[in-house]
Amino acid sequence: MKQDPQNKGVNEHSKDKQLDEFRLDNSGKKLTTNQGVKVSEDEHSLKAGSRGPTLMEDFHFREKMTHFDHERIPERVVHARGFGAHGYFQVYESMEEYTRAKFLQDPSVKTPVFVRFSTVAGSRGSADSVRDARGFATKFYTEEGNYDLVGNNIPVFFIQDAIKFPDLVHSFKPEPHNEMPQASTAHDTFWDFAANNTESAHMIMWTMSDRAIPRSFRMMEGFGVHTFRFVNEQGKSRFVKFHWKPVLGTHSLVFDEAQKLAGKDPDFHRRDLWEAIEMGDYPEFELGVQMIDEEDEFSFDFDILDPTKLWPEEMVPVKIIGKMTLNRNQDNVFAETEQAAFHPGHVVPGIDFSNDPLLQGRLFSYTDTQLIRLGGPNFHELPINRPVCPFHNNQYDGYNRMTINTGPVAYHKNSLQNNDPSPATEEEGGYVHFQEKVEGRKVRQRSDSFKDHYSQAKMFWNSMSEVEKQHMIEAFRFEVGKVQNKDVQQQVVDMFSNVDAFLAEQIALGVGAKVPDAANESQVTLSSPALSQMNTAKSPKTRKIAILADNGFNYAEVNKVMEALKAAGITPEIVSKNLGMIKGDGGELEVKKTFLTSHSVMYDAVYVPGGKESIEALKKVPQAKEFVSEAFKHFKTIAVGGEGAELLPADAMKSLGEEGAQSKTFSKMGIVASRSEDDSSSFSENLINTIAQHRHWERVI
Ligand code: HDE
């Protein structure tokens, strides 16, 4: 690969270094106006007498108030609620054979990235844990310019043509007459849209699945959704789909938990991301690509340009090509997360577009939306959006221009400046669009190859485990059950009878609709094991466990277990009635949260250690019992040591049966118990392995 000497040297720290030029630290400084004049007093406006009117000449008051009055910018029309983090990306081996993109050539180069995760439907202040797709937008600050991979955690989309996007969004946003409901598709207009635009069937299967309630941004996949192109140095093009695979595996909340979290901690996902990075548990995602040769464009029973279709991984394998590590929290959410401007059209040489009609429309929409949101055409100059390589062109002026372009020439071609800035040849790194041959009549039409709306929806259903299917049925019943219009409910049931008769029947029974004719269901038998979260990677790392204890707890036991948990990368937190220290026999521990400031839904697991006095105290606190029974209900790991078993809910005892009641030590259905002193190391080991399982669906609830 030829290197452009001007841009050489982008590394992991390039963006951070650039941002540093803009950082402003107020500590130890005197208060000034924006003009730099020191302010002598900041408590009182300037008045004619202490009880008199405020004076117009009070420039400090005027400036302070005016700035405040203008502090808000429009939130994103979709993906309004989001949260970002910095990091870097590193390719595992050169991708030269497939693409000339420089950031995908050299495994020793760490390309800085900024990622913004988001929900789609809710306002900027809505809750993190709602049922929704998640945005997963990555800006790679490469030596050849910014490359944005603006994806979602779901590999397909609701619609096939961009012209329908405003309709789709109007249907899922709060209804215009009463602005309800917030951050939810559980209302008439969305399901009316769905039933009348059946191309949405496949993505709806995903949004009704557990994928739409992720446990963490760190534990969800990302997908570029559209088909793009890789183009190599020789000009050979391949169709490509992008995947992010979380190293920790893909895991979800349960719906009841997600709903409770929306109230108990609306910031659940951003807090989780922030804290993980602060603790040095850097989220990691591997980048994968699926590639299809030009010659094979028509070899599949779906159209590879149709964004409502995925390429089953078993059919087109995902080649893992590199890893992204998020290792730095942002300094200022407005300056970074809010002002970040992503665009699927921000590509670098070696990455190109396909004719996916949804992608084509997005290529228009993203700049357009920044113009209103960020107030003009110079948003590329905002620190978070600046490329780390130089940029030169004749686009001058406009609101908030920051660069000072010198000299009289702002046009091409010119002789006064030797034609500078001059276009680069392909060899010099100039972006040359792939020369796809295109011909056709101007028509408002969709290809017949986009007409199959149900086969992959059925494949998704076939790929789910029984538990996942049950969750989907409940999600459908919840969402469609909130629809007021009976006719719309029936239309939805009828629509999904084209996917699967049992699913449609279950929705119908739940919402009191007519069970449709089973004859319509899709006959597809294909399944894709990669779609089930049952087959994901499992790890105890970065999980959180609450330890419920009070004075008199078994210190030796807790200490030993805590050490083992920490060594396995699990974060234990003591939860008790009051903050402060609690005393055990042999030592004391600090209480991190109380039953008021925390709740079972904020943890992956709960552990109740032994200690007679401690257990007697906990038994008197209703929230302590609720803590354990919620953990049981949400299929989470529960550990009990010694007398701790007395806090196990009746349901748990019932499902444990005889063994639970009798044996001293066991690990069953996600419940790990130890009633003897001498087995504490196997207890810890069992506990760690059980936490790694994420949830215990074998439990009967
Ligand atoms: Fe977006 N989308 N979108 N979208 N989208 C926006 O751009 C749009 C689509 C996605 O964290 C907006 O800057 C159209 C698919 C993400 O800042 C807007 C269509 C996918 C984000 C817009 C789509 C996405 C956005 C709103 C159909 C997955 C948040 C604010 C043609 C591949 C980026 C903004 C961030 C944001 C338009 C469909 C992902 C209005 C017209 C498919 C992750 O421009």
Instruction: Give the separation between CA 565 and CA 584, rounded to whole angstroms.
Output: 19
**Would 408 be classed as within a structural domain?**
no
Q: Tell me, what's the pLDDT at 660?
A: 62
- Asked if 530 and 563 sit in the same domain, the reply is no
Given a cut of 70, is residue 369 above it in pLDDT?
yes
* Mean pLDDT, residues 58-87 taken together: 98
CA nearest neighbour of 392 among 427, 430, 364, 363: 430
**CATH label of the domain that carries residue 571:** 3.40.50.880
Whether residues 512 and 611 share a domain: the answer is no
Among 322, 349, 381, residue at a domain's last position: 381
Residue 373, marked binder: yes
The pLDDT confidence band at residue 653, using thresholds 50, 70 and 90, is confident
Q: Domain containing 526 — which CATH number?
A: 1.20.1370.20
Furthest C-alpha separation in the chain = 93
* Separation between Cα atoms, residue 693 and residue 553, nearest integer Å: 27
Does 638 lie in the same domain as 579?
Answer: yes
Indicate the residue among 364, 381, 398 that finishes a domain: 381
Q: Which of 6-15, 32-41, 123-132, 512-521 has the lowest mean pLDDT?
A: 6-15
Q: Please tell me the predicted confidence (pLDDT) of residue 333.
A: 98
* 111, pLDDT greater than 80: yes
Residue whose structure tokens are 């629809």 = 483
Residues 585 and 628 in one domain: yes
pLDDT at 8: 61
658 with 580, same domain: the answer is: yes
pLDDT at 679: 66
**Same structural domain, 196 and 317:** yes
CA of 221 to the centre of ligand 1 (A): 17
By CB atoms closer than 10 A (0-12, 13-18, 19+), residue 666 is middle
- Checking phi first, is residue 55 left (phi over 0); if not, alpha (psi -120 to 50) or beta? beta
**CA pair distance 50, 46, nearest whole angstrom:** 9
The CATH number linked to 316 is: 2.40.180.10
Site to probe by mutation for ligand 1, drawn from 75, 76, 78, 202 as the one with most ligand atoms within 8 Å of Cβ, is 78
User: Residue 1: what pLDDT?
Assistant: 36
Task: Write out 563-593 in H/E/C secondary structure.
Answer: HHHHHCCCEEEEEECCCEEEEECCEEEEECE
699 within some domain: no
**118 pocket-lining for ligand 1 (C-beta < 6 Å):** yes
Per-residue confidence (pLDDT) for residue 2, from 0 to 100: 40
272 φ, ψ (degrees, to nearest 5):
-60, -45
Q: What percent of the chain has pLDDT over 90?
A: 94
What phi, psi does 641 have (nearest 5°)? Answer: -110, 140
Residue 60 lies inside a defined structural domain of this protein: no
Active-site positions?
Answer: 79, 152
Q: What is the pLDDT of residue 663?
A: 67
Do 510 and 558 share a domain, yes or no?
no
* 366 exposure class (CB count in 10 Å sphere: 0-12, 13-18, 19+): middle
Contact between 216 and 253 under an 8 Å Cβ cutoff? The reply is no
- Work out the average pLDDT over 7-22: 91
| pLDDT tens column, 540-585 | 999 999 999 999 999 999 999 999 999 999 999 999 999 999 999 8
| Mean pLDDT of the region 628-645 | 96
Report which of residues 13 and 667 the model is more confident about.
13
44 in a structural domain: no
**Span from the CA of 412 to the centroid of ligand 1 (angstroms):** 33
pLDDT of residue 120: 98
Instruction: Tell me: do 122 and 237 sit in the same domain.
Output: yes
- 524 and 583 assigned to the same domain: no
Q: How far is ligand 1, taken at its centre, from the CA of residue 222, in Å?
A: 14
Protein residue with least CA distance to atom 8, ligand 1: 362
Ligand 1 contacts CB of residue 431 (under 6 A):
no
Structure confidence at residue 380 as a pLDDT band (50, 70, 90): very high
Which structure tokens are listed for 590? Answer: 């600090």
Q: Above 50 in pLDDT, residue 680?
A: yes
Indicate the DSSP class of residue 127.
Answer: -
Mean pLDDT in residue range 662-674: 84
Per the structure, how many domains does the chain have? 3
> Is residue 165 in contact with ligand 1, taking CB distance under 6 Å?
yes
* Structural domain boundaries enclosing 149: 82-381
Ligand 1 centroid – CA 81 distance (Å): 13
ipTM of the complex: 0.98
Angle CA(184)–CA(186)–CA(192) in degrees, nearest 5?
Answer: 120
Residue of 586 and 1 predicted with greater confidence: 586
**Mean pLDDT, rounded, for 608-622:** 97
Residue 388 within a domain? no
What integer best gives the mean pLDDT of the chain?
Answer: 96
Whether residue 405 lies inside any domain: the answer is no
Question: Measured from the CA of 358, which atom of ligand 1 is nearest?
Answer: 31
Answer yes or no: is the C-beta of 162 below 6 A from any ligand 1 atom: yes
Q: Known binder of ligand: residue 695?
A: no
Does the reported pTM lie above 0.90? Answer: yes
Q: Whose CA is nearest to atom 11 of ligand 1?
A: 116
| pLDDT bucket at 677, cuts 50 / 70 / 90 | low
Ligand 1 atom, smallest distance to 307 CA: 42
Q: What does the pLDDT read at residue 237?
A: 98
Same domain as 485, residue 559? no
Residue 626 lies in a domain: yes
More confident: 650 or 480: 480
Whose Cα sits closest to atom 38 in ligand 1?
A: 362
The least confident of 519-523, 529-533, 562-566, 673-677 is: 673-677
Domain C-terminal end among 486, 506, 535? 535
Mean per-residue pLDDT for 55-83?
Answer: 98
Q: Is 116 annotated as a binding residue?
A: yes
User: pLDDT-based confidence at 242, cuts 50/70/90?
Assistant: very high
Q: Dump pLDDT digits (tens) for 387-414.
A: 999 999 999 999 999 999 999 999 999 9
User: What percent of the chain stands above pLDDT 70?
Assistant: 97
Instruction: Round to whole Å and give the CA distance between 479 and 487.
Output: 15
Q: According to the annotation, is 362 in a ligand binding site?
A: yes
The pLDDT of residue 681: 74
Same-domain check for residues 472 and 563: no
Q: What is the pLDDT of residue 651?
A: 86
In a domain, 402, yes or no: no
- What's the pLDDT at 4? 44
Determine contact, residues 225/155, Cβ cutoff 8 Å: yes
Question: Per-residue pLDDT for 3 more than 90?
Answer: no
3-class secondary structure, 9: coil
Is 328 known as a binding-site position?
A: no
Instruction: Tell me, yes or no, whether 572 and 460 share the same domain.
Output: no
| Residue 5 confidence (pLDDT) above 60 | no
